[in-house]
C-alpha cells in the first residue's frame, strides 16, 4: 500500500486529501536518525520548516518519490540530493503570500506607533501618552527590496495607505514595476532615501548580510527596517549596534540567521526601537490551510501518476531528452548566468537564437535553461527548470525565439542570447566542440574562444599598446592569478573585449582600480 509520512504539524484538510490515496502516518518531531531509519517504508514525505531532509535521509530510501514542503522555502531540503536520487520536490510558493505581506505591514504599523512597548507599559498600570508619540505611514517613502509575489503585495497595500513606493529588483522590468505602481531605484539610493525599507529576498550567497553596517550608516537616522523574508539578510550584530547608536530609528525582525533566536544574540540586548517576532510571517490559519491543501494535492496527484504544479527540481521532460540535451542545457544555463552579470540593470527582453545543430533540438528546454541561468543570481535555489518561465513572466521579461537555418560558422551550430534592458543590449554566443567542451564564441559580437570557468573578468577597452600588460600587472600585484586570457576585436585599435579566467574572485576595491585604468571603459567580474 502507498504510504505518506508527515513529520511536522499539517492542517487536517491536507491530511484528509492524502488519506484518499494513501496510508498517512504522522510522526511529529522525530530525530534525523529516526527519520533516516524509517523513510525506506514511505513513498512520500510531507514537511514544513521543522524537518531537515538531508542527503543521508534521501539516500536511505529507494521508494521515496516526492517530498512536499508545505510553504515557500526549501532551505531545509537537500534539493540537489533529491534530484540526483530522482525524488520530486514540491512547495507552495503562493500559499502564504498574503500572510507574509500582512505581517510586514503589521510590523511597520507596530513599529511606527510603538504598540508593543505601549501595551506593556499600560499593562503595568502606567499612562504614558506623551512617551509613545509615533508617526504616520501616509506620504512616507517605502523601499521594497525584492518585487516577487510578497514584495508586490506589500507595495500594493502601501500604495493604498498613501505611501510613496520605490523598489529594487534587478529582474523586474520597468513595465512590470509600473503595473504594480512601484518606482524602480538602485539599491544604494533606495536605502539612502527611504523612510521604511522592507526586505523580500531569498537567502543566497549574494544576499547574505546584504544589510551591513555600511548600508545602515547610509540610511536616514529616522528610517525603519523590516525583515519578514529570510534570516541572514541582515548582519544582526551591525543592526544591534546601529539601533543602540540611533543610526536608524527602529527595526522589526521576524526571521533570524539562526532559529530559534539564540540567547546570546546581540538583538536581545537592544533596549529600544526593536520589535522581534518568532518567524510568524506564514502563521495564519488561512496560510496554514492553503499550503497544506496545495502541497497535499500535489503529492496526491504525483502518487496517482499525474504531474505536479510547482516542482522545484525536475523539469517536465523525459529522461531520454534530458540525457541527449545535457551539454546543450549546460551551455544555455551557463550563458544565461554569464549574460545576467554582463547586462546588469532591469532586463525587458531575452532573445534566444539557435543556429545549425541547435535548430534540430527541441528549443523550449534550451530557452528554459537560459532563463534559469539568467535569474539564478537573483533567485538562487528558488529558480529551476519548472518555474523559470513563470518567474521571468512575473518580472516582465519577454522571450523571443529565433531559428537560423543558414550554414553555421561552427559544425555543431551555436546558441546566442541577447538581452535588452536599461543598460542597453548585450549578447553572448556559445557552442559545443567535438570533445563536448563548452565554448563561449562571442561577447557583444566580439569574437572570442573561451572555456567557461568559475571566476572570470570581462572588460571593454580600447585596442591600444600596453593595456593588456597594465591589467596583467595590476592583477598580479594584487595576487590574482590569471589562468587564461582571450582578446576579441573587430578592427585594429578600435573597441575590444578581453576575457580572463582567474583563480579567485575580484575584490571590489581592485575592481574600482581596474576601471580607472586608462583605456578600460568597463569591467565585469563573473562567477559561474
- Which residues are tagged catalytic? 230, 259, 279
- Spatial contact of 166 and 181, defined as CB atoms under 8 Å apart: no
Largest distance between two CA atoms of the chain: 85
On the CB side of 317, CA atoms within 13 Å amount to 21
Residue written as grid cell 523590516: 226
Q: Which three cell numbers stand for residue 289?
A: 490551510
DSSP string, 163-229: -EEEEE-TTS-HHHHHHTT-EE--HHHHHHH-SEEEE-----TTTTT-B-HHHHHHS-TT-EEEE-S
Burial class of residue 305 (count of CB atoms within 10 Å of its CB; 0-12, 13-18, 19+): exposed
516/487 Cα distance (integer angstroms): 19
Report the distance separating Cα 171 and Cα 349, nearest Å: 11
Measure the CA–CA gap between 209 and 87, rounded to whole angstroms: 32
CA-based R_g, the chain, Å: 25
Lookup result for grid cell 593588456: 468
Q: Which residues on neighbouring strands pair with residue 226, listed in sequence order?
A: 198, 252
Instruction: Supply 243's cell numbers.
Output: 539601533
Report the DSSP beta bridge partners of residue 427.
418
Q: What are the two backbone dihedrals, phi and then psi, of residue 198, each rounded to the nearest 5 degrees?
A: -125, 135
Under 8 Å between Cβ of 313 and 81 = no
Closest C-alpha among 408, 402, 317 to residue 357: 408
Residue 381 in grid coordinates: 535555489
Strands 438-443 and 141-145: unpaired
- C-alpha 294/C-alpha 9 separation (Å) is 15
Q: Burial code of 374-411, b = ≥16 C-beta within 10 A, e = fewer? A: bbbbbbbbbbbbbbbbebbebbbbebeeeeeeeebebe
Q: Does a cis peptide bond (omega within 30 degrees of 0) precede residue 334? A: no
Cβ atoms < 10 Å from Cβ of 351? 16
Helix (H) / strand (E) containing 515: helix 508-515
- Geometric angle at alpha carbon 231, from 77 and 243, rounded to 5°: 175
Beta bridge partners of 165: 142
Give the span between the Cα atoms of 282 and 96, in whole angstroms.
5
Amino acid at each position: 500500500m502507498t504510504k505518506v509520512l508527515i513529520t511536522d504539524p499539517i492542517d487536517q484538510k491536507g491530511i484528509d486529501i492524502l488519506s484518499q490515496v494513501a496510508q498517512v502516518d504522522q510522526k511529529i518531531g522525530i530525530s534525523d536518525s529516526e527519520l533516516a531509519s524509517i523513510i525506506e517504508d514511505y513513498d512520500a514525505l510531507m514537511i514544513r520548516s521543522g524537518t531537515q531532509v538531508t542527503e543521508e535521509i534521501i539516500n536511505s530510501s529507494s521508494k521515496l518519490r516526492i517530498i512536499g514542503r508545505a510553504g515557500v522555502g526549501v532551505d531545509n531540503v537537500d534539493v540537489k540530493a533529491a534530484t540526483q536520487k530522482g525524488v520530486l520536490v514540491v512547495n507552495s510558493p503562493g500559499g502564504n503570500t498574503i500572510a507574509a505581506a500582512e505581517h510586514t505591514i503589521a510590523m511597520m504599523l507596530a513599529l511606527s506607533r510603538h504598540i508593543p512597548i505601549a501595551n506593556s507599559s499600560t499593562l503595568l498600570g502606567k499612562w504614558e501618552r506623551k512617551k509613545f508619540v509615533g508617526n504616520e505611514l501616509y506620504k512616507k517613502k517605502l523601499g521594497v527590496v525584492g518585487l516577487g509575489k510578497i514584495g508586490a503585495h506589500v507595495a500594493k497595500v502601501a500604495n493604498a495607505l498613501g505611501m510613496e513606493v520605490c523598489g529594487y529588483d534587478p529582474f523586474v522590468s520597468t513595465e512590470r514595476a509600473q503595473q504594480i505602481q512601484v518606482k524602480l531605484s538602485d539599491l544604494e539610493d533606495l536605502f539612502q532615501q527611504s523612510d521604511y525599507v522592507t526586505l523580500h529576498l531569498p537567502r543566497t550567497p549574494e544576499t547574505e548580510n546584504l544589510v551591513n553596517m555600511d548600508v545602515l550608516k547610509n540610511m536616514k537616522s529616522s528610517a525603519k527596517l523590516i525583515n519578514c523574508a529570510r534570516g541572514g539578510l541582515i548582519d544582526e550584530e551591525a543592526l544591534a549596534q546601529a539601533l543602540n547608536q540611533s543610526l536608524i530609528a527602529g527595526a522589526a525582525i521576524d526571521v533570524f540567521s539562526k532559529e530559534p533566536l539564540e540567547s546570546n544574540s546581540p538583538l536581545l540586548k537592544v533596549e529600544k526601537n526593536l520589535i522581534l517576532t518568532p518567524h510568524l510571517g506564514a502563521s495564519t490559519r488561512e496560510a496554514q490551510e492553503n499550503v497544506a491543501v496545495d502541497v497535499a494535492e500535489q503529492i496526491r496527484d504525483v502518487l496517482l501518476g499525474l504531474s505536479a504544479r510547482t516542482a522545484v527540481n525536475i523539469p517536465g521532460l523525459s529522461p531520454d531528452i534530458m540525457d541527449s540535451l545535457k551539454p546543450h542545457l549546460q551551455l544555455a544555463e551557463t550563458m544565461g548566468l554569464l549574460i545576467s552579470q554582463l547586462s546588469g540593470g532591469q532586463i525587458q527582453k531575452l532573445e534566444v537564437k539557435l543556429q545549425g545543430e541547435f535548430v534540430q533540438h527541441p528549443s523550449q528546454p534550451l530557452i528554459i535553461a537560459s532563463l534559469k541561468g539568467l535569474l539564478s543570481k537573483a533567485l538562487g535555489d528558488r529558480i529551476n527548470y519548472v518555474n523559470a518561465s513563470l518567474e521571468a513572466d512575473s518580472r516582465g521579461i519577454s522571450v523571443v525565439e529565433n531559428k537560423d537555418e543558414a550554414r553555421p560558422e561552427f559544425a555543431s551550430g551555436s546558441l546566442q542570447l541577447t538581452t535588452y534592458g536599461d543598460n542597453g543590449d548585450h549578447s553572448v554566443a556559445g557552442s559545443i566542440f567535438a570533445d563536448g567542451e563548452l565554448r563561449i564564441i562571442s561577447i557583444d559580437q566580439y569574437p572570442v574562444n573561451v572555456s567557461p570557468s568559475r571566476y572570470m573578468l570581462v572588460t571593454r577597452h580600447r585596442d591600444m599598446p600596453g593595456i593588456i600588460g597594465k591589467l596583467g600587472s595590476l592583477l598580479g600585484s594584487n595576487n590574482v592569478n590569471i589562468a587564461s586570457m582571450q582578446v576579441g576585436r573587430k578592427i585594429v585599435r578600435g573597441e575590444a573585449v578581453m576575457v580572463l579566467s582567474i583563480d579567485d574572485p575580484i575584490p571590489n576595491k581592485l575592481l574600482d582600480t581596474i576601471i580607472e585604468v586608462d583605456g578600460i571603459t568597463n569591467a565585469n567580474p563573473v562567477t559561474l
